[in-house]
Amino acid sequence: MSSKKPENHEKAGEQTGNRNAEEWLTLYGDYLYRYALFRLSNEEIARDMVQETLIAAWKARKNFRGDSSIRTWLVGILKHKITDYIRKQIRDRNLANRLETDPTSDFFDAHGQWRQPVHGWAGDPERLSSNQEFLRALNACIAKLTEQHRHVFTLRELNGEDTDTICKACDITPTNLHVIMHRARLVLRKCLEKTWFGDNKAI
């Protein structure tokens, strides 16, 4: 034990050897919950993921090497849990191969032309990605996607999985994945146009 004044909570925990899950809950509970809720859009499942993460971390506490912060370590575990959960949902319920009505069919006429002109808007990715209000609007739009689109889109764009991994883990054909991503992107674009960009909240 060191007599050095701890610089932050994380160091305090490490220095006293107090790697205890309840303390992690106090310190990082909100952070982990936000992370999970943003990716799952469901409070109950987000809470379960945080709980499973803290239990898994506590059981594996000897594996924490201290070469990253505890928070980073916990987020790493949480990310795996979320990926596993979504993959299982898609695979076990055959979500990806379920035939759904195409939510983008309203966007085009019989000749494949846009029914309404697509307006131009722009924003700065850096500033948007850290703007609280925009993140809320984005999350609300992701939450409105169909379950199939939301889950596949989250694996791909928020968890950053490559397409081969998603296809294998979730039992989706590449063609199906491409169709789902296309539809999800167009619906999301339209939703954000309505709630954000077209409403002049561009950042």
For another protein, which stretch binds (CB under 8 A), given 4-12, 88-96, 115-123, 143-151?
Answer: 115-123
Name residues whose C-beta falls within 8 Å of residue 20's C-beta, 6 or more positions apart in sequence: 13, 58
Q: How far is the CB of 115 from another protein (least distance, A)?
A: 10
Q: How far is CA 22 from CA 12, 13, 49, 57, 165, in A?
A: 14, 11, 15, 11, 34
> Considering only residues 173-192, where is the footprint of another protein by CB under 8 A?
174, 177-179, 181-182, 185-186, 188-189, 192
Q: How far is the CB of 9 from another protein (least distance, A)?
A: 16
Name residues whose C-beta falls within 8 Å of residue 160's C-beta, 6 or more positions apart in sequence: none
User: Is 201 a residue that touches another protein (CB under 8 A)?
Assistant: no
User: Is 118 a residue that touches another protein (CB under 8 A)?
Assistant: yes
Name residues whose C-beta falls within 8 Å of residue 183's C-beta, 6 or more positions apart in sequence: 102, 103, 104, 149
Q: How far is CA 117 from the centre of its chain?
A: 31
Neighbours of 70 (CB within 10 A): 21
For another protein, which stretch binds (CB under 8 A), given 4-12, 89-97, 127-135, 143-151?
Answer: 127-135
Q: How far is the CB of 127 from another protein (least distance, A)?
A: 10
The site map against another protein for 137-166 (x = CB under 8 A) is -xx----------------xxxxx--x---
Size of the site for another protein (CB under 8 A): 64
Neighbours of 142 (CB within 10 A): 22
User: Is 108 a residue that touches another protein (CB under 8 A)?
Assistant: yes
Instruction: Give 95 or 172: the residue with its C-beta nearer to another protein.
Output: 172
For another protein, which stretch binds (CB under 8 A), given 11-19, 61-69, 84-92, 124-132?
Answer: 124-132
Rg of the chain (C-alpha set): 20
Q: Which of 28, 31, 30, 45 is nearest to 151 (CA)?
A: 45
Long-range CB pairs of 1-5 (<8 Å, 24+ gap) are: none
Q: Which residues bind another protein (CB under 8 A)?
A: 20-22, 25, 29-30, 32-35, 37-38, 43, 47, 50-51, 54-55, 58-59, 75, 104, 107-108, 111-114, 117-123, 125-126, 128-130, 132, 135-136, 138-139, 156-160, 163, 174, 177-179, 181-182, 185-186, 188-189, 192-193, 197
